[in-house]
Amino acid sequence: MRIPRALRLSALALLLFLLAGVSMYFYVITPHPSSAPPDSAQALLDRADSLSWGNRWIDAEPLYKRAEQMFAAQGQSSKALYA
């Protein structure tokens, strides 16, 4: 018994569509490295966010506190509040 060509093409198209969807999903949820200088408040905040996404809140807490202090010293109250 042979599978009709149209059915095979449809199955292949569906497989490629699902593969593209899964790839985009993982690209969106994966944290990306920051372009901020490593010793900046933004870099600390990005690292803390990355740790919190991985459910490592204990490790992220001191980074959030340090970033908050640095943002407050720079007068960026909205980012300090976020941190």
Rounded to whole angstroms, the Cα distance separating 19 from 30 reads 17
| pLDDT at residue 70 greater than cutoff 80 | yes
Q: Are 73 and 66 in contact (CB under 8 A)?
A: no
* Mean pLDDT over the full length of the chain: 90
pLDDT in tens, 13-62: 999 999 999 999 888 777 667 777 888 999 999 999 989 988 999 999 99
DSSP string, the chain: -PPPHHHHHHHHHHHHHHHHHHHHHHHHHS-----S-TTSHHHHHHHHHHHHHTT-HHHHHHHHHHHHHHHHHHT-HHHHHH-
pTM for this model (two decimals): 0.60
